[in-house]
Structure 1
Amino acid sequence: MAFEIKKQPKAYDVCIIGSGAGGGMAAKVLSEAGLKVALLEAGPKYDPADPKQQTQLKWPYESPRRGAGTTRPFGDFDAAYGGWELNGEPYTKKNGTQFDWFRSRMVGGRTNHWGRISLRFGPNDFKHYSLDGHGDDWPISYDDVKPYYDRVDKLIGVFGSKEGIYNEPDGLFLPPPKPRLHELLIRQAGAKMGLPVIASRLSILTRPVNKDRGACFFCSQCNRGCTVYGDFSSSTCLVKPAMKNGNVDLYTDAMAREVLTDSTGKATGVSYVDRNDLQEYQVNARVIVLAASACESARLLLNSKSSVHKNGLANSSGVVGKYLHDSTGASRSAFIPRLMDRKRYNEDGVGGMHVYVPWWLDNKKLDFARGYHIEMGGGLSMPMYGFGFGIERLQRNDPKRAASQMPGGYGASLKDDYRRFWGSTVGFAGRGEAIARADNYCEIDPNVVDKFGIPVLRFHYTWSEHEIKQAKHMQDTFEKLIHEMGGVPLGEKPGADTMYGLENPGRIIHEVGTTRMGDDPSRSVLNKYNQAHDVKNVFVVDGGAFVSQADKNPTWTILALSMRASEYIVSELKKQNL
């Protein structure tokens, strides 16, 4: 008996796949323009203010698991329904690839638990090929995107300070929180080294921007989802407001299988599997917007084959899935004796760093092509299981110094010693730009399907010498910072055998580039408005559109480009061009 796809009775102007940064922004812009929108999300509804889902302001002992491991990669209370491994949803790797793919199945996707680091790309970031000969230039410039960055700043809110750094553009900032003590010491050490330690730029409200969202009350738990909506998550800042206008139908637990097309190759709708009944359904729409994340959107296009699109939808160039790249990442921690025996006070602040270091050097004078920024952590945050045990590595690195400073004994004396050490460690993490290359890619595995019967992705990825040398520079910089702070590094300094501590690609969760934009349809998937060259009623508004990553986090650029593309869709529909 033939299997029948159940069609939803309602036809839409637009069907959006994915409710994260790109999908949430598209849903808000398109629905407010009066278009009827179907928003498909692979996971359940999520509202951090819902008592049944709230994890903010809970004690560790309130976890139903009570410390017996965790079901989430960032802890039981983290606002991420997902991880690098999902039950029944595998992905494969080839040629020794170590790529790790993070998925978050919930309304708002990965914006529910991210670090809220909200950086604009700079003028150089759109034109790197012209500057260093690596990769490709974007078909757009900073000036094309700046008006949308400005509007995102106003709509969502971001704090920061005006610095006048050319390739680290200033935004429309809310007041930044004051640095904590360890951050003041980092700033002091940075000044000696010529590092610009400036106020962070995080999408957290230090004062209200509208009546629907409260200001941050400095509990330092943004990763748990904010009950007053004081930080940016697509679920609370975009999807929730969009639902109020009556033009959005939200389909949750809808695992998209493919984009459907007619005999001419034009997109007509989306096929999805309902996670609850495992039946296949179809939503019809005039325009299809993919916002499922860079790799998931590439997977959908590659799985959407037809007689017209034999290599997958929008893939006449063969570029879909290629030029995959993630941010580089390497880290180091240290013990700072000056931070011992501290007076106790509430130092929580926002859920992230109050200062950071933007890229400060000229790559023409270095042996690698692209830069990185430095994130830092530390302070008097709530102790958790395992606190203090990292200090024991100090004995191996500097036993003489450790002899009089190590915690010891047991019972009350051990507790007293750990109190002395509380707040005396700092951590540094570099986050940098990798060069986009065609030989880093994801493709459909011909032999493996997930539990919904959908073919899965297979990854191929290697770091180049530029990323490895960049990681070495990170480690050298961390060592100098620690020395200037009078600190002692914890653990051995990573060397060439570990690529200087370079994280596996995918671990920083900034993957982009699989459906890149460009002016040449033979070398790109999308045009400068995120519209597919091959199929004019298909758009991709997640990180897949990126030509290059920059040394910044991608979310603010995804939001700006999605707003820009969505307004282009409205304009083209009015002209009857779609």
Structure 2
Amino acid sequence: ANGLATGVSYVDKNDLQEYEVRASTVILGASAGESARLLLNSKSASHPNGLANSSGVVGKYLHDSTGASLSGFLPQLLDRKRYNEDGVGSVHIYSPWWLDNKKLDFPRGYHIEYGGGMHMPAYGFGQGIQNLNGLVPGRDGQPREAGGFGAALKDDYRRFYGTQVGMAGRGTALARADNYCEIDPDVVDKYGIPVLRFHYKWTEAEIKQAKHMQETFQAIMHGMGAIITSTIPGPDTNYGLAAPGRIIHEVGTVRMGDDPKKSALNKWCQAHDCRNLFVVDAAPCVQQGDKNATWTILALSMRTSEYILDQRKRLILS
């Protein structure tokens, strides 16, 4: 009657029965998509549009990082000395955003993550040896066909091991109300609970950003003498821009803000409509930058936790 959350209900996977857990404070951290799904499915007389959704923004402003990549190899690293390079990765070699947006045709920016090195070989064909060994002369200096077999192929595995390099751009996508998730009226999961359906399209801003990524990758590759091995994507594929959701950095579906008419949560990630409900995952993020959202999630959740403890001490929250 008072519009507060009373707890959570769940389905036990063993007996497929629904149970309830009562709680004076409910903290939701199910992920940007699932938190929106839970709120939208939690309708009542007090919350006819879903819990914490009098503003109608729950599910809206969904956005994911942009992503594009390019691969190649460095001939100057052929036959290089062997090292144990396990553990070295994109966290060690990184290019933050470095340009002035006023001089570009798209807003915001991206960073570049780099990969390569002598990592443990995976299953397959030596990281695609057939795509490499026909691009440079053999040991005798003569052109050779790609692929091969026997001793020559084994020798190429050794020659090319550790020569490959990859670049991955991760950038900012603009938060837009017309990119959103909603409850699917026709589809339920195995427990009979309605699932989400998604509406998401890239805009010219993200496509132009991906084009800039590819141009930058190629300039770096050529500048260091690399041979590009991946197909260079063009406008027909949005310059290799990954499909929405592919980078799995989705945020923004239960946004925070000062105005209850335009946001679902206040600055403490507390629901405007339901003061004993908090959301502590990526859903509160209003506009993600080019960085992964993980540290922001951790910082906001710690801040919210401290606020809840303070409110309980003051007996404002029970």
Structure 1 residue 365 corresponds to structure 2 residue 127: no
Shift of the alpha carbon at 1:407? 5.8
Residues in 2 aligned to 1:374 and 1:394: alpha-carbon distance in whole angstroms: 24
Residues 304, 536 of structure 1: alpha-carbon distance in 2 compared, 3 angstrom cutoff: same
Structure 1 residue 458 corresponds to structure 2 residue 233: no
Instruction: Say if 1:394 and 1:491, in contact at 8 Å, map to a contact too.
Output: no
Residues in 2 aligned to 1:463 and 1:486: alpha-carbon distance in whole angstroms: 33
Q: Which amino acid aligns with 1:571?
A: D
Structure 1 residue 438 corresponds to structure 2 residue 177: yes
Partner of 2:238: 499
Structure 1 residue 322 corresponds to structure 2 residue 70: no
Superposed CA offset, 1:491-532 (max 9, x none)? 321000000000011111100000000111111010000000
Q: For residue 330 of structure 1, give the secondary structure of its aligned residue in structure 2.
A: strand
Q: For residue 544 of structure 1, give the secondary structure of its aligned residue in structure 2.
A: coil
Structure 1 residue 291 corresponds to structure 2 residue 26: no
**Which structure would you say has the larger Rg?**
2
Instruction: Say if 1:269 and 1:288, in contact at 8 Å, map to a contact too.
Output: yes
Shift of the alpha carbon at 1:264? 1.8
Superposed CA offset, 1:456-493 (max 9, x none)? 00100000101000000000000011001101111321
Q: For residue 37 of structure 2, give the secondary structure of its aligned residue in structure 1.
A: helix
Q: Which amino acid aligns with 2:184?
A: D
Instruction: Say if 2:68 and 2:213, in contact at 8 Å, map to a contact too.
Output: yes
After TM superposition, the score normalised by the length of structure 1 is: 0.53
Shift of the alpha carbon at 1:573? 1.5
Partner of 2:162: 423
For 1:552-571, list aligned pairs within 5 A.
552-571=291-310
Residues in 1 aligned to 2:311 and 2:6: alpha-carbon distance in whole angstroms: 17
Residues 464, 450 of structure 1: alpha-carbon distance in 2 compared, 3 angstrom cutoff: same
Instruction: Say if 2:57 and 2:253, in contact at 8 Å, map to a contact too.
Output: yes
Q: 1:514 aligns with which of 229, 239, 253?
A: 253
Residues in 2 aligned to 1:301 and 1:480: alpha-carbon distance in whole angstroms: 46
Instruction: Say if 1:363 and 1:370, in contact at 8 Å, map to a contact too.
Output: yes
Instruction: Say if 1:394 and 1:488, in contact at 8 Å, map to a contact too.
Output: no
Q: 1:575 aligns with which of 310, 314, 317?
A: 314
RMSD between superposed Cα atoms in Å: 1.9
Superposed CA offset, 1:324-357 (max 9, x none)? 0000000000021011111112111356542101
Structure 1 residue 345 corresponds to structure 2 residue 93: no
Q: Which amino acid aligns with 2:248?
A: I
Partner of 2:274: 535
Q: For residue 270 of structure 1, give the secondary structure of its aligned residue in structure 2.
A: strand
Quick check: 354-363 or 432-441, which moved more?
A: 354-363
Residues in 1 aligned to 2:167 and 2:297: alpha-carbon distance in whole angstroms: 26
Instruction: Say if 2:60 and 2:254, in contact at 8 Å, map to a contact too.
Output: yes
Q: Which structure would you say has the larger RCO, counting Cα contacts within 8 Å and 6 or more residues apart? A: 2
Instruction: Say if 2:55 and 2:262, in contact at 8 Å, map to a contact too.
Output: yes
Superposed CA offset, 1:540-571 (max 9, x none)? 01000000010111000100000001111111
The count of residues paired between Structure 1 and Structure 2 equals: 315
Q: Which amino acid aligns with 2:309?
A: V
Residues in 2 aligned to 1:466 and 1:500: alpha-carbon distance in whole angstroms: 13
Partner of 1:303: 41
Partner of 1:266: 4
Shift of the alpha carbon at 1:413? 2.1
Shift of the alpha carbon at 1:391? 4.6
Residues 405, 561 of structure 1: alpha-carbon distance in 2 compared, 3 angstrom cutoff: farther
Residues in 2 aligned to 1:419 and 1:454: alpha-carbon distance in whole angstroms: 53
Residues in 2 aligned to 1:409 and 1:317: alpha-carbon distance in whole angstroms: 63
Q: Which amino acid aligns with 1:454?
A: I
Partner of 2:16: 278
Q: Which amino acid aligns with 2:60?
A: K
Is there any run of 5+ residues in structure 2 with no aligned partner, and where?
none
Superposed CA offset, 1:415-449 (max 9, x none)? 11111011111000000000000000000001111
For 1:35-50, list aligned pairs within 5 A.
none
Shift of the alpha carbon at 1:395? 7.8
Structure 1 residue 384 corresponds to structure 2 residue 112: no
Q: For residue 19 of structure 2, give the secondary structure of its aligned residue in structure 1.
A: strand
Instruction: Say if 2:70 and 2:217, in contact at 8 Å, map to a contact too.
Output: yes
Identity %: 69
Instruction: Say if 1:391 and 1:406, in contact at 8 Å, map to a contact too.
Output: no
For 1:50-69, list aligned pairs within 5 A.
none
Residues in 2 aligned to 1:335 and 1:489: alpha-carbon distance in whole angstroms: 7
Instruction: Say if 2:132 and 2:146, in contact at 8 Å, map to a contact too.
Output: no
Q: For residue 444 of structure 1, give the secondary structure of its aligned residue in structure 2.
A: strand
Structure 1 residue 355 corresponds to structure 2 residue 93: yes
